[in-house]
Chain A
Amino acid sequence: MIPSDHFVRFYNEVFKFLDERGGLKDYYEEISRHQEFHCLDLFRRKGLKGVVEYYEKIRKEENCILDLELRDDCLISRMACCPSLTKVLDNDAEPFLKYCDHCAGWSIPLYTKCGIYYVQDMIDRRKPACRSVRTESREVAERVRREFLEGGSPPELVNSNLDDWQEVEKNKSERMKP
């Protein structure tokens, strides 16, 4: 048994294997489908409050230093210490350089299905800190993305599902139906 404590170090090995074969994107999509088991119904039913509920559990169980600020129009998440990357860096096996990419990799398809915009700034792939915003407003998501980029974050470190805005809007409308 790989202890649950050590899963992320196994994950890191899986990423290295898949990256050499061009298989990361498909795997992230599989993990996203897996995460639907935990998140899809919750996020669809409760929207951003559901996201807060899920991440409060993650913050406790995964020992994150994570600030969640729920505003009227968005949820701001500031990860001051990501336990996942911290463990991968504290590892006798070599860390996968694009380790952080998996987070947006599984999150974007999931949030799109839930009709929620997701904008993430990885800040620095070698440091276990990042920031992200979830919102139901395309306008807010566009503004946040612009602010991340104007603040100096390189485009390759800023991820979002804004390119799929039509899909987000369609899924949001379905979710809002009485």
Chain B
Amino acid sequence: MLRYQEDNELHRDFHGTTNTTLDYIAKHYGVDALKMILRKTGHDVYKSIHDKLAKGNASELIEHLNWFFYREQGKYQLTVSENEIVLEVFECPAIRHLHKMGREVSPYICLQTSEVNAGMCEGTPWVSEVKVVGEGHCIQTFRKEAGHDTK
């Protein structure tokens, strides 16, 4: 069950404000500061996902990825096995909307994903990885490391 499950209208222009914010923080406070904020967002805002991952339960993470990429009309494929979750995004909804608005895409747009995902996994048996294949195309992997005791 999702902690946050919006199902009403979407304001996609928020991707533009995120984009501006990523650039602003990196320019004025450095990339490490940006990483810190994003990781904290992943850890604290998505506490419910994080806490379940810590117990070895990836159900909310899977639901989160599926629901929000579906809701934003992303083109994606989600593959789930016991110890690995792979989300291949063929067309990122955020980048698509930035293009639609004619905005320049922040060089930190994918850092947003990698650090938030890392924050969700921090201190849990799960590790995350984001491989950027091309603009708007990435492979997000969550892998359960062997040997972790989640009891």
A residues touching B (Cβ–Cβ < 8 Å)? Answer: 1-11, 13-14, 17, 21, 23, 26-27, 30-31, 34, 37-38, 58, 60-63, 87, 90-94
Identify which of residues 86-131 in chain B touch chain A, using a CB-to-CB cut-off of 8 Å: 89, 92-94, 97, 101, 103, 112-113, 116
In the bound complex, residues from chain B placing their C-beta under 8 Å from that of A5 are: 4, 6, 10, 68, 71
Interface string of B34-53 (1 = CB under 8 A from A): 00111011001111100000
Complex CA–CA separation, A58 to B33 (angstroms): 31
Subset of 28 A-B contacts with CB under 8 Å: A2-B94, A4-B10, A4-B97, A6-B4, A10-B18, A10-B37, A10-B41, A10-B45, A13-B41, A14-B21, A17-B29, A17-B33, A17-B37, A21-B29, A23-B28, A27-B21, A30-B24, A38-B13, A61-B9, A61-B10, A61-B13, A63-B8, A90-B4, A91-B45, A92-B44, A92-B45, A93-B45, A93-B47
9 smallest A-B Cβ distances: which pairs?
A: A7-B14, A93-B44, A92-B47, A61-B11, A3-B68, A5-B6, A4-B14, A34-B20, A9-B45
In the bound complex, residues from chain A placing their C-beta under 8 Å from that of B31 are: none
In the bound complex, residues from chain B placing their C-beta under 8 Å from that of A4 are: 10-15, 72, 94, 97
Complex CA–CA separation, A5 to B12 (angstroms): 8
State the interface size on chain B (CB cutoff 8 A): 46
- In contact, A13 and B15 (Cβ under 8 angstroms): no
**Shortest beta-carbon distance from B52 to chain A in Å:** 12
Interface centre among B11, B29, B45 (most CB of A within 10 A): B11
**Shortest beta-carbon distance from A39 to chain B in Å:** 11
Known: A3-B72, A63-B9, A93-B47; 16 extra A-B contacts, CB below 8 A, are: A1-B72, A1-B74, A2-B18, A2-B94, A4-B94, A5-B71, A7-B15, A10-B21, A11-B17, A17-B25, A17-B37, A31-B17, A60-B9, A63-B8, A92-B45, A93-B40
What does DSSP make chain B's interface, helix, strand, loop or mixed? Answer: helix
- In contact, A1 and B41 (Cβ under 8 angstroms): no
Complex CA–CA separation, A17 to B47 (angstroms): 18
Interface centre among A7, A23, A26 (most CB of B within 10 A): A7
Complex CA–CA separation, A34 to B13 (angstroms): 11
Q: State whether the Cβ of B55 lies closer than 8 Å to any Cβ in chain A.
A: no
Q: Which residue of B lies closest to A33 (CB)?
A: B20
Q: State whether the Cβ of B3 lies closer than 8 Å to any Cβ in chain A.
A: yes
In the bound complex, residues from chain A placing their C-beta under 8 Å from that of B112 are: 1-2
In the bound complex, residues from chain B placing their C-beta under 8 Å from that of A6 are: 4, 45, 68
Q: Which residue of A lies closest to B69 (CB)?
A: A1
Complex CA–CA separation, A93 to B38 (angstroms): 13
